[in-house]
Amino acid sequence: MRVVGVDLGGTTTTIGLVDSERGDIVNKVQISTKAHEGYKRVIERISDVINEIKSDAVAVGVGSPGSIYDGVVRFSPNLPDWKEVPLAKMIEERTGLKTYVENDANSFVLGEKWFGDGKGKSHIVALTLGTGVGGGVITHGILLKGHLGIGAELGHVTVMPNGPICGCGNYGCLEALASATAIVRMANEGRKKYPSSLIFKSDEITAKVVMDAAKKGDELALRVRDRMVEALGIAIAGFIHIFNPEIVILGGGVSRAGDIILEPLKRVVKSRVMPSFEGTYEIVISKLLDDSGVLGAASVALERLEVKR
């Protein structure tokens, strides 16, 4: 069976034709979202690409940022005028294909369930560490969304009371300490004390620059890494206690730092979980990489179609 996956982003949108049996992307097209042109034009362009590549696809799955309910984007901070936008209905009208929409973090965990390290598992926690921190939870094989479909906002659990302010307006959220944005902020905060840090030899400070410096033993970079890992470890230990997952999967740009994050993270989590939880979970970095968005979006459709794997 083939479905179309749409990874809708604030800057770029990637659309792919996915073969569920082969587990790969048959055709993929990336376009500029151009959100400033308004949601109608964005959806028109997405629909045009779907019509070009849909071939024998039976449905469309969309992973979209923001709060999603019943195919409607109720609000999305990365898509300015997207309020109560009937995304599924509008794509259906333009493509003739049944369309399903999920929050992008939920689509990520579904992608891991169908195509990644979560395959064959019924209890999964997935975190995307990017500009922000998103989360998705599968328990007993079912995507956990809450009564309005907007639950599992794992990036906004408090890990440091009275900590740094988060984009959501709260203080001390996981996102305010473990996102790419937070890593850059913490690095800049250390400039006065560590003016000769390798971090500041780069033209642009990014989370990757910070983590690359940490791999070289840079003191400031390691301090930022340690603060980020501690916050992430506190959160994951809590998620393990609440959801009892078989696996915790990390995705997003920050996760590509690899072992410089993963190994100390495992130690922090182990030090914080109850003894009865030791050995009941594993923590891994997603292997889907650049394809995670499209495969996750496709999985939204596959999940709703109840395809047998």
CB 199 within 8 A of CB 220: yes
The domain segmentation of the chain, as residue ranges, is 2-111+290-305, 120-287
pLDDT for 77 equals 72
Amino acid identity, position 78: N
Same fold, 2-111+290-305 and 120-287: yes
Both tokens of 29, joined, read 């097209």
DSSP string of 200-247? GGSSS--HHHHHHHHHTT-HHHHHHHHHHHHHHHHHHHHHHHHH--SE
Q: How far is CA 99 from the centre of its chain?
A: 21
pLDDT for the residue 263? 97
Residues 166 and 176: their CA atoms lie apart, in Å, by: 5
Residue 106 identity (one-letter amino acid) = N
In terms of CATH architecture, what is 120-287?
2-Layer Sandwich (3.30)
Instruction: Choose among 88, 75, 28, 67: nearest CA to 300.
Output: 88
Q: What is the pTM of this model?
A: 0.91
The answer to whether 270 and 282 have CB atoms below 8 angstroms apart is: no
* Tens-binned pLDDT, residue by residue, of the chain (309 aa): 999 999 998 889 999 999 988 888 999 999 999 989 999 999 999 999 999 999 999 999 999 988 888 899 988 877 878 999 999 999 999 999 999 999 999 999 999 999 999 999 999 999 999 888 999 999 999 999 888 888 899 999 999 999 999 988 899 999 999 999 999 999 999 999 999 999 999 999 999 999 999 999 999 999 999 999 999 999 999 999 999 999 999 999 999 999 999 999 999 999 999 999 999 999 999 999 889 999 999 999 999 997 554
Output the pLDDT for position 307.
59
> Does the domain at residues 2-111+290-305 carry the CATH identifier 3.30.420.40?
yes
Please answer whether residues 18 and 25 qualify as being in contact, where contact means their C-beta atoms are separated by less than 8 angstroms. Answer: yes
Residue 79's pLDDT is what? 83
Residue 147: what pLDDT?
86
pLDDT of residue 21: 87
